[in-house]
Structure 1
């Protein structure tokens, strides 16, 4: 309990504000669809309230725990088995939502394993890289890191074929940054990264659009999202509906918004108003200034997480912080990119604000560990 005296309020206060504000926005964004689905206007509110309360309990547990327990070989081994088996299990009986079979149903709650894989990859790769630093220097990077690369790639591949492009990309980004921090040649890494971007923009996107225009992929949800990204207004009554109505929501909101609860787009025009596109509803109701305030709080958490990592004298702790910052940054950019039409819609939630148990609990796990690391640093400085 002594760690609670050393809480980093630059991390905790924004986390708490965003989580509570997320409950408010989920209620506003989901009241109409809750009624339309045969439930009550507050049905999503009660679920999100439960998700956040349990998330705070998880967060507290992670702050108080001994982080060395996360490095236990048996725990890491069993976590790896559970992660891979869960992803394989999805291919057989996964619940399909928005074209991806990425959820396992437990009564009224659906669990998304790809979310928890983010946390696993952060703590596992941080442990592996920290333990093998000397071996990397002596035996060479590929000789030591090939097995972790293959295991990480297998998990990302299983997420990709659900298909969950957003989840796969976020997990791949976490792995990429941590491997880069392990000593991988950064010039080669940048070459691979730029090559991947050119491949997507120069070949995959144009090919996907051409295939869809020829009528060969009318039922392929992922390809249709690319078509919607390229020509949203040409498909405003079909696959482009989400993006077009997101634009309308942003336009309606302006600087100050139309008032909390007064969104027009959430009443049936904009699909997924409480998850993927909750920031569009937030901007419509509360305006650009409030949306920028939310982004600023998230930016504060990310920069503080990086700072905690830089200050740490433990490579393991530093890598965890870098992985956490990458997770938050990429997920935020993917969500906002989809809402603004700068990136294809990938079904990625906005951290802390969007509805969802798996996302809320994964954020609690990751940020609880970062807070634990920061509390350790503050306690060390206070006692030395």
Structure 2
């Protein structure tokens, strides 16, 4: 109860506001497809409302948790086993959605382990780095961190082979930022990242485009997304349909939108209107101004999270905040990049707005951690 007095409303209020807006937009975006699929127009609404309510319970639990328990060796071992078993099990019994066998269907809900791995990597890697601070200073980063690094590579490989390129990249960015924040030689790391980006942009991506256009990998869902990215209007009746109709939605909405519930593209033209492309529907119905406000609110949350990390006198708490901020930032950029045609579509949801239990609960886990850390900071300042 003591922590309630020190709640960070700069994080909690935006979280609640975006979550409520997400419920409203999921209902609007999904009512037609729910009916078309033979179900109720409120089916997705009810599920998303339940996901958000359970998310609030998760946040409450994470707020009340003694964060030192997350550093217990047995707890971390259980989390590690759960991460590897859940990801490995997908290779045998994973259900394929949007070209990636990354889901477990459990009755009326589906769970995506790659989402929960984001939380796992943040708390596990933050603890591994914090425990090795002396070793990093005396023996160097690579000698001290080689075992955690190998575990991270194994986790990323299991996500990659689903194949879930978007999920793998977001998790890789979390690992990368925590590594940069832990004392790695930034000049060497910057050079390595720059070389990697140039390799992807200058060699790998053009090669994948050629393979996709040649028809060599016409059955590859991932490579066909590259075809859609490079020339969507030439494939507007097939792989380019999502991006083309996303453009139509954005154009139709203009500055002020056509009004809530009045989207044309959600009525069967734009696939995945309630998940990957919900921001296109939001922009069509509520307009550019509201879309920019949503992005600005998310930017506020990210900035606040980084500030909490900077103010922390604990390496562990600081790294958790940097990991959380990276998660929010990269996920937002990937989703918006796909909606605007600036990046290939990766199947990444928009934080707090898109439909989905796994993403909603993972965001609750991570934001609960940050709220806990912020409350601890406020309590310390008030009592010292």
Could you say which TM-score interval applies, normalised by the shorter chain?
over 0.9
| Rounded Cα–Cα distance in structure 2 between residues aligned with 1:314 and 1:206 | 44
Once the two structures are TM-superposed, the CA of residue 192 in structure 1 deviates from its matched residue by 1.6
Shift of 1:218: 1.1
Map Cα deviations across residues 37-91 of structure 1 (whole Å, 9 max, x no partner). Answer: 1101000000000000000000011011100011010000011011001100001
- How many angstroms does 1:193 deviate by? 1.4
Is the CA contact (8 Å cut-off) linking 2:126 and 2:320 kept in structure 1?
yes
Looking at structure 1, the residues matched to 142 and 155 of structure 2 have their Cα atoms a distance apart, in angstroms, of 19
The separation in 1 between residues aligned to 2:214 and 2:13, in whole angstroms, is 52
| Unpaired segments ≥5 residues, structure 2 | none
Q: CA deviation at 1:285?
A: 0.2
Q: Partners of 1:7 and 1:212 in 2: how far apart?
A: 50
1:63-142 matched pairs, under 5 angstroms: 63-142=63-142
Deviation at 1:109, TM superposition (A): 0.6
Q: CA deviation at 1:2?
A: 0.7
Q: Measure, in 2, the Cα distance between the counterparts of 1:206 and 1:313.
A: 45
Give the Å deviation of 1:229: 0.5
1:276 counterpart = 2:279: no
CA shift, 1:210, in A, is: 1.3
- Once residues 10 and 250 of structure 1 are traced to their aligned partners in structure 2, the CA distance between those partners, rounded to angstroms, is 30
Report if the CA contact (8 A) 2:34-2:40 is conserved.
yes
8 Å CA contact 1:62, 1:369 repeated in 2 = yes
Distance 1:30 1:192 in 2: 43
Aligned to 1:150: 150
1:298 match: 298
Q: Secondary structure at the match of 1:104?
A: strand
Q: Does 1:18 pair with 2:18?
A: yes
Tell me the residue number matched to 1:316. 316
Secondary structure in 2 matching 1:105: strand
Q: Provide the secondary structure at the position in 2 that maps to 1:346.
A: coil
Distance, in Å, in 1 between the alignment partners of 2:151 and 2:296 is: 35
Superposition deviation, residue 186 in structure 1:
0.8
- For 1:44 and 1:305, the matched residues in 2 are separated by 30
Contact 2:212-2:226 within 8 A present in 1 as well: no
- CA-CA distance at 1:140 after TM superposition: 1.7
Q: CA deviation at 1:215?
A: 1.4
Q: Contact 2:253/2:288 (CA < 8 Å) preserved in 1?
A: yes
Preserved CA contact (<8 Å) 1:94 1:101: yes
Q: Which runs of 5+ in 1 are unaligned?
A: none
The 3-state SS of whatever aligns with 1:274 is: coil
Deviations 1:158-211 (A, max 9, x none): 001100000000000000000111111111111121122212211222111211
Q: In the TM superposition, what are the counterparts of 1:157-196 in structure 2 within 5 Å?
A: 157-196=157-196
C-alpha distance in structure 2 between counterparts of 1:23 and 1:75, whole Å: 33
**Residues 208, 227 of structure 1: 8 Å contact kept:** no
**181-190 or 356-365: bigger deviation:** 181-190
SS in 1 for 2:184: coil
Structure 2 residue matching 1:44: 3-state secondary structure: helix
- TM-score between both structures, scaled by the size of structure 2: 0.99
Aligned counterparts of 1:13 and 1:90: Cα–Cα separation in 2:
36
Distance 2:108 2:123 in 1: 29
User: Matched residues in 2 for 1:314 and 1:182: separation?
Assistant: 12
For 2:248, the equivalent position in structure 1 comes to 248
Cα distance per residue 1:16-35 (max 9 Å; x no partner): 00001100000000000000
Runs (4 or more) in structure 1 with deviation over 3 Å come to none
Match of 2:103, SS state, is strand
Q: Do the aligned partners of 2:8 and 2:374 also contact (CA within 8 Å) in 1?
A: yes
Q: Counterparts of 1:201-220 in structure 2 under 5 Å?
A: 201-220=201-220
Aligned to 1:227, what secondary structure does the other structure show?
helix
Q: Is the 8 Å Cα contact of residues 25 and 353 (structure 1) preserved in structure 2? A: yes
Following superposition, the deviation at residue 254 of structure 1 comes to 0.3
Number of residue pairs the alignment of both structures matches: 384
